[in-house]
Structure 1
């Protein structure tokens, strides 16, 4: 199977319409239809049910769509990683969302620079939830992920630290003076949404700066990892959540990586994290 054929099929399977898929691919519809038919003959299975003038994926088509997406992502990732490795100034790219390092990264970078296998590090700051995609598609070599919010499936990982949660409030909020709260105390409050699918009641946000601004304006409160206190605005307050979740900060990278500079970075990050407790991070 050629990568072009797979890309054609994925486009049709996602659009469930040959016309829209052809427009998306920048080709005419007849050759696209013929390409899909050739693919079905070669595989010996029906991928698309074209009955009743509607396109529906068959069981085989569902499997090929799922696996095809992964294969195309892997191909793009391989191409991008090869190009980056061939640069005159190769570097290790670490991606994180704003504040997503729990205050560890500055220490990690300083110690890593002294390692004999170290190479130049580029830190990429992305929007909330974008780390996984940038790691999977080859734009980054390492990503700082937060469990249970991010999905580390398919990556090699190293746990750095686990934190309890706190609620972030305006200083004049009725709960701001409490020594602790329970989740039940937060019922009826407006929470920001980290994605369109999130069931919270507030607006969708892309970074922690937006969250802080919304809280300062009295438009929301937020439950966040304890390390948020390291960069908290002075007009906001934090209160521990007794029955909140524990969140774990992970360093993730490709399972296939054999890079010595990357391995050295992971070991350095683990050493730095082992020496820091959440309340002391960044001190």
Structure 2
């Protein structure tokens, strides 16, 4: 099976329309149809169910779509990392969510920079749930994730720290002076519905709370009395004056991990992980 054939099949499988897939690939429809037919003949299984009205994936086609996406992602990552190795051979890209892990990140970068032969570290600030794709397609070499909120599926990880959570409230709110809260207390604030973060698909779940994509945006909305959130307790450090952080006793603990693709062979990644996990 050739990479070209996989690209053709993935385009058709995602569009479920030969005309749209051909347009996306920048080719005519007849050769695309022939290529898919030849691929099915070579594999000995039907990948698509075709009628005059629609195109649908068979069970075998669904498997090849998942595998094909992974393979094409790996190829794209290899191309991107190879080009970067030629232009910046001693650099490393670390993906972090904007506004998170500030203290931990500073300590990690300082400790790594003190290592002999340390590579230059470029920070790639991203939004929730983007880390995994950035690592898979080669835009980032390593990332800091927060479990259970971020997915680490398909990645190698090492735990760095575990912490409790706090509710972030306007400093003028009656609950801001409490020494502790429970999740039920936070959920029972109709005037401050919980903020909604985008899921892996990039869309926010339905609900009354404000849609947010980073902490800068979140903190502004909380200060305006539009929403609230429960975050790792490190988020309460150095808060702006119009916000308060109150510990939430029954909120699940959050574990910060350093993550990287399992096929990574970069010495700089191994060195950064070693420094990050050094006790």
Indicate whether the TM-score tops 0.5: yes
Which of 191, 194, 207 is 2:194 aligned to?
191
Runs of 4+ deviating beyond 4 Å: none
Counterparts of 1:255-270 in structure 2 under 5 Å? 255-270=262-277
When residues 117 and 260 of structure 1 are mapped into structure 2, their CA distance, relative to the original with a 3 A threshold, is: farther
| CA distance in 1: counterparts of 2:89 and 2:69, whole angstroms | 31
| CA distance in 2: counterparts of 1:203 and 1:104, whole angstroms | 28
Write out per-residue CA displacement over residues 140-188 of structure 1, whole angstroms, 9 at most, x where no aligned residue. 1111111111111111111001111110000111211111111111224
When residues 204 and 20 of structure 1 are mapped into structure 2, their CA distance, relative to the original with a 3 A threshold, is: farther
| CA distance in 2: counterparts of 1:201 and 1:2, whole angstroms | 48
Q: Does 1:237 align with 2:241?
A: no
Total equivalences in the alignment: 272
Aligned alpha-carbon RMSD (Å)? 1.5
SS of 1:192's partner is: coil
When residues 88 and 56 of structure 1 are mapped into structure 2, their CA distance, relative to the original with a 3 A threshold, is: closer
Write out per-residue CA displacement over residues 184-242 of structure 1, whole angstroms, 9 at most, x where no aligned residue. 11224412211124354323222110000110111101111100012421110111111
Which of 247, 254, 257 is 1:247 aligned to?
254
| CA distance in 1: counterparts of 2:125 and 2:172, whole angstroms | 32
Counterparts of 1:80-159 in structure 2 under 5 Å? 80-159=80-159
Task: State TM-score, norm by structure 2.
Answer: 0.93
After TM superposition, give the deviation of residue 52 of structure 1 in Å. Answer: 5.6
| CA distance in 2: counterparts of 1:231 and 1:27, whole angstroms | 55
| CA distance in 1: counterparts of 2:232 and 2:221, whole angstroms | 17
Q: Does 1:228 align with 2:231?
A: no
Q: Is the 8 A contact 2:99 2:216 kept in 1?
A: no
Task: State TM-score, norm by structure 1.
Answer: 0.91
Q: Is the 8 A contact 1:84 1:90 kept in 2?
A: no
Q: Is the 8 A contact 2:76 2:138 kept in 1?
A: yes
| CA distance in 2: counterparts of 1:88 and 1:25, whole angstroms | 31
SS of 1:121's partner is: strand
Which residue is equivalent to 1:39?
A: 39
Q: Is the 8 A contact 2:141 2:260 kept in 1?
A: yes
When residues 162 and 199 of structure 1 are mapped into structure 2, their CA distance, relative to the original with a 3 A threshold, is: farther
After TM superposition, give the deviation of residue 109 of structure 1 in Å. Answer: 1.5
Range that drifts further, 233-242 or 50-59: 50-59
Which residue is equivalent to 2:221?
A: 214
Structure 1 spans left out of the alignment, 5+ residues: 275-283
